């Protein structure tokens, strides 16, 4: 059984609020870059960048990060053990930049740990901040989001499903009983 907890309008408002918070915390958008974690984090990152452009009248670079090779909770083929072969679509330098890392759901923290490892292999940013649409709790690592669209307390027997119109045909967040 699925229960919609965030509809399209609520998602838009959450992303707009996150965008304003990013501007305020960074005192503008100088030296700012946005990296979206594959898959839905990429689309959320693009939406935040679009809103930043509307508000600040300047373009913020957006990159894509696939952290699957950096995950410590997924078995890797021994022949593909070199994490540096990760797929990253980042055509700008990240050294000395303020990185906003964007993901759809913050759960155990392992994806974010993997993303930070991937980022450090690409350069040394000035700082890394985390923006997530949903924080559901149940952390296994000491990681927290700097910008949160919605806190959704959930049990570990539930699943949070984020849908984005670019690939799912609609914007929503649902809690699904497993």
Q: For residue 66, give its domain range.
A: 2-22+30-177
pTM above 0.85, yes or no: yes
**How far is residue 14's CA from residue 1's CA, in Å, rounded to a whole number?**
25
Q: How many separate domains does the chain show?
A: 1
- pLDDT (tens place) for every residue of the chain, 178 residues total: 899 999 999 999 999 999 999 999 999 999 999 999 999 999 999 999 999 999 999 999 999 999 988 888 777 665 455 555 456 899 999 999 999 999 999 999 999 999 999 999 999 999 999 999 999 999 999 999 999 999 999 999 999 999 999 999 999 999 999 8
Q: How far are the Cα atoms of 18, 58, 99, 118 from residue 125, in angstroms, in the given order?
A: 21, 21, 7, 12
Say if CB 12 and CB 164 are below 8 A apart.
Answer: no
- Residue 49 belongs to domain with CATH number: 3.40.50.2020
DSSP 8-state class, residue 166: H
Q: Return the sign of the alpha-carbon dihedral for residues 116, 46, 64, 26.
A: negative
| Secondary element (H or E) of residue 3 | strand 2-6
- In angstroms, the first-to-last Cα distance of the chain is 8
How do strand 127-135 and strand 98-106 relate by DSSP bridges? parallel
The Cα 13–Cα 107 span in angstroms is: 22
Tracing tokens 């155990």 back to the chain, one arrives at 108
| Four-residue CA torsion sign, 85, 106, 25, 19 | positive
């Amino acid at each position: 059984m699925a229960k919609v907890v965030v509809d399209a309008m609520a998602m838009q408002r959450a992303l707009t609020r996150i965008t304003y918070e990013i501007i305020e915390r960074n005192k503008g958008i100088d030296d700012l870059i946005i990296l979206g974690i594959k898959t839905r984090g990429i689309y959320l990152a693009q939406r935040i960048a679009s809103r930043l452009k509307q508000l600040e009248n300047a373009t913020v670079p957006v990159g894509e990060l696939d952290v699957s090779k950096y995950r410590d909770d997924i078995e890797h083929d021994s022949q593909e053990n070199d994490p540096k072969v990760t797929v990253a679509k980042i055509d700008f330098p990240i050294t000395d930049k303020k990185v906003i890392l964007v993901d759809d759901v913050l759960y155990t923290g392992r994806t974010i740990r993997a993303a930070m490892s991937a980022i450090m292999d690409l350069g040394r940013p000035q700082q890394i901040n985390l923006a997530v649409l949903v924080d559901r709790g149940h952390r296994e690592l000491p990681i927290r989001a700097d910008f949160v669209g919605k806190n959704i307390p959930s049990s570990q027997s539930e699943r949070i499903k984020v849908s984005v119109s670019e690939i799912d045909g609609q914007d929503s967040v649902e809690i699904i009983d497993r």
